[in-house]
Amino acid sequence: MIGERISELRKEMGLTQKELADMLSVSKYTISSYETDRTSPDDHNKILFAQIFDVSLDYLMGLVDEPMPYDRSGEVVQLPRQFDQMQVRQVYDYIGYLSYQSRRKRRRKSKRARV
């Protein structure tokens, strides 16, 4: 499973096996070996893959089917992968609208508190 995910994510990023290998300081044959599940990356390289592809280790390992970002320290909105660019833009526009409404509401409360 991990090999399939590595291959899929590498291709989505437009990287060759050689380019990915250079990023990890391994040979392209090692990447090929990972992608065909002949060998499995060690834990250190799994973390590097997750960082490079910005996906959770759970996704990389095949434990979940929806990728979450590697770094989830901030607020994260998970969108379905099948959303096209227009749908993603609409979600972000709506989030912006809700943020605007929230700021307006806080300002109104603040004005009432001063009166």
Global pTM reads: 0.62
pLDDT at residue 115, rounded to an integer: 59
Judged by average pLDDT, the poorest of 27-31, 99-103, 109-113 is 109-113
- Long-range CB contacts (< 8 A, 24+ apart) of 23-29? 23/48, 23/52, 24/48, 24/49, 24/52
Close Cβ partners of 83 (under 8 Å, ≥ 6 residues apart): 91
Q: How far apart are CA 56 and CA 41, in angstroms?
A: 15
List the end-to-end C-alpha distance of the chain, in Å, as a whole number.
62
Encode pLDDT of 60-98 as tens digits. Answer: 998 988 777 777 666 667 788 899 989 988 998 898 888
1.10.260.40, 3.30.70.1450, 3.30.1490.20, 1.20.1440.230: CATH of 2-60: 1.10.260.40
* Domain residue extents for the chain: 2-60, 79-115
Give Cα 19 distance to the centre of its chain: 20
